[in-house]
Every structure is written in C-alpha cells, then in structure tokens.
Amino acid sequence: MTSSPVGIEALNVYCGLAQIPVEVLFAERGLNRDRLGNLMMNQRSVGFPFEDPITNAVNAAKPIVDALTPEQKERIEVLITATESGIDYSKSVASYVHRYLGLSRRCQFMEAKQACYAATGAVQMGVAYVASGISPGAKVLVIATDVTLADGRNQYIEPVVGPGAAALLLSDRPRILTVDFGAFGNYAFETLDSARPTPTEEVADVDGSLFAYLDCLKQAFLAYRDHVEGTDFATTFDFLAMHTPFAGLVKASHRKMMREFTRASPTEIEQDFTQRVFPSVVYARQVGNLGAASVYLGLASVIDEVKADTGYRVGLFSYGSGCCSEFYSGVIDQESTTALGEMQIGRHLAGRCELTFDQYEELLKDTLLCLVPRKEHDVEIGQWSAVLDRRSNPRPFLTLKRVRNYHREYEWV
Amino acid sequence: MPVSDVSREAIDRAVREVITAILPAVSPDAIVGNKHLRDLGADSVDRVEIILMLLDRLHLDEPMSSFSGLPDIDGLVAFLHERCR
C-alpha cells in the first residue's frame, strides 16, 4: 500500500463541435417557456454523424496521452471506458479507444456500465489500483463517454442532454484532484427510473429519476459522514460538484440538503449555492447532461471557475439511474488550475458552432442511429469540412469513417 | 381501524395550501383530486418543492422515491394520510 497521495493527474472533456440554444428547442418543440427558469440551461451540445462514443472518448483523452513521455504512456496499465452507449454486446468501446490512443499492449482494458454512475465506480477502482502498490507508479485511464438518443419524443429531456466524454488519468501524481482516500459513501437500490432498452430509445420516469437522485444524495452523504467523523454538509466542502441532469435540479438538491442538514435561512441557502455550487454548473449549462461524464465536467467547471490559489476540498456526488450513487471528496489547489488550464476547455466550448433547428433536425436522422449495430456503413465526412476546419484547437481529431463487417474504422483529421 | 393523528381533511387542506404557495398562478378551484401536479403546471423542481414543503409541514421523514408513483392529488393526500397514522 503506497503512502503517496493518489487521485486525478489529468482531466479533459470533449463536448462536441456544435451546440443549439435551449430556447430554440423550446420554441420549435412547443415547450412551455415558463419552465426555462427552473431548468437553468442555456445550450446543449450536438453530435455529428462522424462521431460516436469512441470518437468522443478518444478526442477527450488524446491531449492527455499526447502530453505524456513514451515512458509515462507505457505506465498506463488499465483503461476503463464507462458508458451507457455501448456499441456491441461483447466488444467494448475501450478496445477501439486502446487502439486509437496507441496504448501499450500490456495495458488491460474493459468497459463499465451503470448509467451515469459507472465512471465514478471506475475511478474508485483505479484509485485503489494505484494506491494498492501492486504496480508502483502505474497509471489508470478512465474515460466516461456517451451520446444522447433524445429527440422531440423526450419533451423536456431533449434540451438538457448532450454528447461528450471526460478522460481522467489516475496516478500517484494527482495534479487535478487529490482524492481523500477512504472518504466515500454509497447508496444504491434497483429501480427503473430511466433506461436504454434498445439502441434507439431512451425511457425515463422523470419523477422517479429525480426523486431517486435526491434520496441517493442524502443517503450517500450520510454514508460518507459515517466514514468521516465530523463531516458537516455546510462547512466540510469548499465546493460541490454533482451529477447534473440539469442545473436547476442541482440547485434544488442543494437547497434540500441545506434545509435538512443546516439551519440556514432561504437567503443564506441562495448565497451558499452561488458560492459553493454554481461554479460546478457553468459548463453543464452550456453542454447539457453528458451522462457518465457529467460529474467530471462539474469538477472541471469548478477548477476553471474558481482558479484556486490554495487548497480547497470539493465534494463530488455521482448518480446513475437504476440506481447507484456515491459521494466522495478530494482537494484541488493552484496546480489544478495550471494542469486543467492546459486543456483549454472554455475555449473548446466557446468554439462550437451554433446550429439552426433545421440543421439540428437533419443531424438527428443520422445521430439517433449512432448505436444501432450496422454490418456495413459509410460516413461522408467531406460535407462537414467547414465544421471540422473551424475547430478552436488544431489537435488531431478522430472521426468515424466506415463500418465493415461490424468492424468500425476511424480516421484522424 | 386506527385513528389518524391528522385528519384527511387537514391533509387535503395542507396539500392545497402548499400547491398554491408554490404555484401562485393556479386557482384553488383548479386543484381537483384527479389531477396530477403536472396538470397544474408544476415542473419537476416545483413538484420536489411541493413534496418537501408537505413533509416539513406534516413533520414526516419519507424518502422522495415514495412519491414517484402516485397517480394524482387524491393519491398524494391518501399516501400522506396513511403516513400520518
């Protein structure tokens, strides 16, 4: 067992090349604008036909892997993709990611599934692998990656979900987040609050899902408190980053917790939300619910917004329908700001092109079929060259080119 | 039959008052038993707030998940009445 700190060495998110304003979707779908206030969302990311869970994962992780020396890259010994957007019953997303990131053939890979929670389960396993000391200096790469299958049938869900991925490199050099080892709490039970029963269908019981989320937040926090004596919801955590189905739910969840665990007045609760929680939803309000990557988009948002000049403890809450949840914590500091700043996430989000509703509808015809198994398939990338050319960062970018006998083939542009 | 500590009428009144407090634009006449909170224009955050305010007012400690399958306001009142026994 190592005595070194362990945690997240590097973090990056990829949130697509395009976005559409939430207000446009509300107007075109005939949704009730009175609900915009409680939603607290501005835009959502949109995927293209040349994107899938594999390209999102690789495009999130590529800058992290490219920044490593060959020797450091060789120390990535475990790759876990966490996704509810699998592309095969047997073959993992991770197998393609392993190939296109050029990882070592001595690096094991696998896929984890538990809706939006799986990435956090994978992170905890990865942290334990690093901390165990069974392979001193080893690194673990966890990538949360998803696409959305929502369209007009999903009413108020459609405007608040987006495709994307978060890549997290775990090691004993935690520049981004030093995990409070052993400080965690889980809460889980079986329910069908939302699911993907087929490759083209999202089903959701809105109340069932939101209420399960709220129960899990409270109970996972209580489990955390049982592990960490003296924990206080109002004072232990300088910032909170939660899985964000939509920012308004995070606000409602924080309000509920503050009512139950503190004597704060409504005004004090509002101020506390602005100070401790709002920094975590700044990015989510621009891209939507990223699924498994959501809570790590929240962490990135906290680091980029706060620009820490000293150590701050962040409480993280991860929830996945079905349902499983975890509350854990870690510490960010000035080094976190520097390390994440290299990824230029804010610039990436600002550089997405804005789509019209007609363009968005046209894309849906293809992107809704993203997870449907196809034996043969070709993607004509040329028609999207203008979108690809205006990317904010000239990094290599992976695109889906074709499928031959179910084997997906990708191309760097 | 056990005697309820809080009458069904009192719970019905509390439900109406809380709905009106969270959704001030809704006329009291519109709050009828066979409607769901959604039918009154309550979005998901409003529904959370209504349930939390009712739990607070009735001094109940009940998981939120208990409320997800209730079909309408009558169902909500009946559930709260049962829990107040």
Handedness of CA A365, A370, A372, A378 (dihedral sign): positive
Identity of the amino acid at A42: N
CB A403 within 8 A of CB A374: yes
Q: What band does B3 get if pLDDT is binned at 50, 70 and 90? A: very low
pLDDT at residue A99 greater than cutoff 60: yes
Q: Distances from the Cα of A59 to the Cαs of A9, A281, A347, in angstroms?
A: 18, 22, 15
Compute the count of residue pairs across chains A and B with CB atoms less than 8 Å apart: 50
Provide, as residue numbers in chain A, all residues whose Cβ is less than 8 Å from the Cβ of B69.
Answer: 208
Q: What band does B2 get if pLDDT is binned at 50, 70 and 90? A: very low
The A residues from 207 to 246 touching B (CB cutoff 8 Å) are 207-208, 210-212, 214-215
pTM more than 0.90: yes
pLDDT digits (tens, 9 = 90+) for A41-96: 999 999 999 999 999 999 999 999 999 999 999 999 999 999 999 999 999 999 99
Nearest CA in chain A to B46: A38
Position B85 scores a pLDDT of: 85
d(CA B40, CA A50): 43
Residue B16: CB partners within 8 Å, gap ≥ 6?
B28, B31
Helix pair angle (A247-261, A206-227), 10° resolution: 50
- Mark yes or no for CB contact A206/B44 under 8 Å: yes
Mutate: best of B68, B70, B73, B79, partner A, most A CBs <10 A: B68
Q: How far is B76 from chain A (nearest CA, A)?
A: 14
d(CA B7, CA A340): 58
- Mark yes or no for CB contact A211/B48 under 8 Å: yes
Among A51, A98, A107, A116, the active-site one is A116
Q: What band does B4 get if pLDDT is binned at 50, 70 and 90? A: low
pLDDT digits (tens, 9 = 90+) for A314-343: 999 999 999 999 999 999 999 999 999 999
Position B64 scores a pLDDT of: 96
Task: Reply yes or no on whether A84 is catalytic.
Answer: yes
- Mark yes or no for CB contact B48/A215 under 8 Å: no
Segment holding B39, helix H or strand E: none
Task: Work out the percent of chain A whose per-residue pLDDT is above 90.
Answer: 94
Task: Reply yes or no on whether A116 is catalytic.
Answer: yes
Give the mean model confidence (pLDDT) for residues A156-171.
97
Q: Residue A265: exposed, middle, or buried by beta-carbon count in 10 A (0-12, 13-18, 19+)?
A: exposed
Please report the ipTM that was assigned to this predicted complex. 0.90
Identity of the amino acid at A47: G
Of the partner residues A212, A248, A249, the one whose CB lies closest to the CB of residue B65: A212
Q: How far is B1 from chain A (nearest CA, A)?
A: 31
Task: Reply yes or no on whether A243 is catalytic.
Answer: yes
The pair of structure tokens assigned to B21 is: 């407090």
pLDDT digits (tens, 9 = 90+) for A166-217: 999 999 999 999 999 999 999 999 999 999 999 999 999 989 999 999 999 9
Cis? peptide before A370, omega within 30° of 0: no
**Average of per-residue pLDDT values in chain A:** 96
Provide, as residue numbers in chain A, all residues whose Cβ is less than 8 Å from the Cβ of B54.
Answer: none
